[in-house]
Amino acid sequence: MEIFAALASVLSDPIILMWVFAAAIVGMVVGAIPGLTASAAIAMLLPVTFYMQPLAALAFLYVIGKSGRYGGSIAAILFNTPGTAASAATQIDGYPLSKRGMSSKAMKVATLSSITGDYVGEILLIAGVGIIAAIALKMGPPELFAVYFAAFVVIGSVIGKSITRGLASAALGVLIKMVGLDPISSEERFTFGSFDLSNGISLVPLMIGIFVLGEVFSQLEARGKPIEQFDDPDNDDARARNRLTWAEYKPCIPHVIRSSFIGSFIGMLPGLGSAIAAFVAYGEGKRRAKNPEEWGKGALEGIAAPEAANNAVSGPSMAPLLTLGIPGSIIGAILIGVFLIHGIQVGPTLFLTQKELIYQLFACGLVGIAAYGLIGYYGASFVGRFILKIPTDVLYPVIFLTSFVAAYSARGSMFDVLIMVIAGFGGWLMKCYDFNPAAFVISFVLAGGAEETFRQSLLLSDHGALIFFTRPVALGFLIVGVVAVVARARSLSKQAKEASLNDA
């Protein structure tokens, strides 16, 4: 019932509504620009939100994340260049439709499916998050440490081409977090006598470096690649061709419902994210489709399935963040920074201390979905044409300069700016060599809590580390972590064998 009160509160606050609508537009535009992701925009805008009210700040960034996921489909359908990794699955059927002069119809299917998926995910989050929080409150330090361990291992091993480099990214994130003073004994760690390092490495410049400056480095590689757009001609025939009828959308509905639940389930698992959800939903949709031969050649269902799954991830990915303090995605990791800067402790007690704020955030999410749905349904083509007018050779230098001032603004520290530059180049190197920047950042965020719960567990225990094996829930999560690595190793080994057989 809290959600209705929160919804009424949000709808009666014009300032919050303004931020939500602004976020819907910003997210859509940023998501539609090839190479620029919602995560990069959120990281860049993070310092600006320090000067806003907590709800406005959180809602602004949360809705950018939602709208950005949808915005990726604009570039995928109109330009044959996925704006985000998740929209690559939408491109498979979206671009063939554009080539046949039906880009508006494809965008309408993407919009309807995205908002349906997003609403399913958000409603599941609202309905289930309180239950998860109540369970999380009963967990002690050993159980929480085991959850952290499983998150480290799953995030490090499941995404990317290499398990060893993914896990190494997670280990590097832990090591970088250890720089500074030990929070319990105030012992210096990895400071090498530097005063700046004794304050530790701040999350904000690290994220701006990896996701914003790192992307500018990547864009130097992609520079000069032409973008092709198939624009719908403005005549009666084209308008009739692009009108979406109920008969056309009806076959998409089972795919949208199934994909929404696939996306919601994948969203709850830390680290997997929208791209995996979109491709799983596309594969599952094609397998169950009545017209599988049309998939890949411009089937409307082939747009509906990945778009619904891609956006359904958004809400449930907040569940581990809000209940356990474990960010399930890059956007979740960035939102932790907002919570912390506003003095809000994320974790099991959040629903005791900030229940009203959290439900208002969910309400902003519901309003935000409607906002980007309306703007996208009627204005996606306009956004696409607007993106084409933005010269990337000017856009990325501007983003480059903004990353410096944004990193400085967080704490007013030039050392943070230097950290941002190092993280930016490091982030680009990580992407070049198949390391996992997302695992690095999420592990950096998790490491503090993991260390605290680990040491608390040892203090509670009479038998040292055996405490993790004698408590069933803790043991269960440890096993989940080990099973995830083994399963991923087997899957990669199978893929390598198949590839070598194909080569032979």
Partner 1 sequence: MSSRTLNTNTVIGGLMTLFGLAAVVASMGINPDPDGGWGARIFPLVGSVALVILGVVECAKGLKSPPPVSTSSGDRGVMGRILALLMLSLAYVWLIGKIGYLISTGLAAVGALMIFGIRNPIGLLIAAIVCPAIYHVIFFVLLGVFPPYGEWFEPLDIIQGY
Contact pick of 3, 17, 174, 475 for partner 1 (by CB under 8 A)? 174
- The nearest distance, CB 19 to partner 1, in angstroms, is 16
- Interaction of residue 400 with partner 1, rule CB under 8 A: yes
Residue 169's Cβ-count burial label (10 Å; 0-12, 13-18, 19+) is buried
- Integer Cα distance of 448 and 35 in angstroms: 31
User: CA nearest 19: which of 410, 371, 504?
Assistant: 371
- The nearest distance, CB 351 to partner 1, in angstroms, is 28
- Integer Cα distance of 296 and 287 in angstroms: 13
Contact pick of 217, 261, 377, 386 for partner 1 (by CB under 8 A)? 217
Q: How far is CA 38 from CA 113, 167, 173, in A?
A: 19, 25, 22
- The nearest distance, CB 70 to partner 1, in angstroms, is 27
Map residues 450-469 to x or -, x wherever contact with partner 1 holds by CB under 8 A. Answer: xx--xx--x-----------
96 Cα distance to chain centroid: 27
Contact pick of 234, 393, 462, 503 for partner 1 (by CB under 8 A)? 393
CB 3 within 8 A of CB 355: no
The stretch near partner 1 (CB under 8 A) out of 13-21, 366-374, 388-396, 472-480 is: 388-396
* Side chain identity, residue 463: H
Residue 20 in tokens: 């939500």
User: CA nearest 176: which of 154, 217, 209?
Assistant: 209
Looking at the Cβ atoms of 43 and 262, the one nearer to partner 1 is 43
- The nearest distance, CB 486 to partner 1, in angstroms, is 14
- Interaction of residue 246 with partner 1, rule CB under 8 A: no
The stretch near partner 1 (CB under 8 A) out of 65-73, 189-197, 287-295, 357-365 is: 189-197
Residue 75 in tokens: 């570039």
Map residues 414-453 to x or -, x wherever contact with partner 1 holds by CB under 8 A. Answer: x--xx--x--xx--x----xx------------x--xx--
- Integer Cα distance of 435 and 169 in angstroms: 6
Classify strands 180-181 and 188-189 as parallel, antiparallel or unpaired.
Answer: antiparallel
- Interaction of residue 230 with partner 1, rule CB under 8 A: no
Contact pick of 8, 48, 460, 482 for partner 1 (by CB under 8 A)? 48
User: CA nearest 326: which of 53, 467, 133?
Assistant: 133
DSSP state of 466: G
User: CA nearest 76: which of 61, 96, 57?
Assistant: 96
Contact pick of 279, 282, 359, 404 for partner 1 (by CB under 8 A)? 404
CB 330 within 8 A of CB 211: yes
Question: Which residues have a Cβ under 8 Å from the Cβ of 293 and sit 6 or more positions away?
Answer: none
Looking at the Cβ atoms of 380 and 423, the one nearer to partner 1 is 423
Contact pick of 397, 466, 482, 498 for partner 1 (by CB under 8 A)? 397
Looking at the Cβ atoms of 100 and 189, the one nearer to partner 1 is 189
Q: How far apart are the first and last CA of the chain?
A: 62
Contact pick of 8, 15, 137, 220 for partner 1 (by CB under 8 A)? 220
* Side chain identity, residue 40: A
- Integer Cα distance of 292 and 311 in angstroms: 23
- Interaction of residue 500 with partner 1, rule CB under 8 A: no
Residue 189's DSSP bridge partners are 180
The stretch near partner 1 (CB under 8 A) out of 138-146, 193-201, 246-254, 400-408 is: 400-408
The stretch near partner 1 (CB under 8 A) out of 132-140, 185-193, 247-255, 373-381 is: 185-193
Binding site for partner 1 (CB under 8 A): 48, 51, 161-162, 164-165, 167-168, 171-172, 174-175, 178, 182, 184-185, 187-190, 192, 213, 216-217, 220-221, 223-224, 392-394, 396-398, 400-402, 404-405, 408-409, 412, 414, 417-418, 421, 424-425, 428, 433-434, 447, 450-451, 454-455, 458, 496, 499
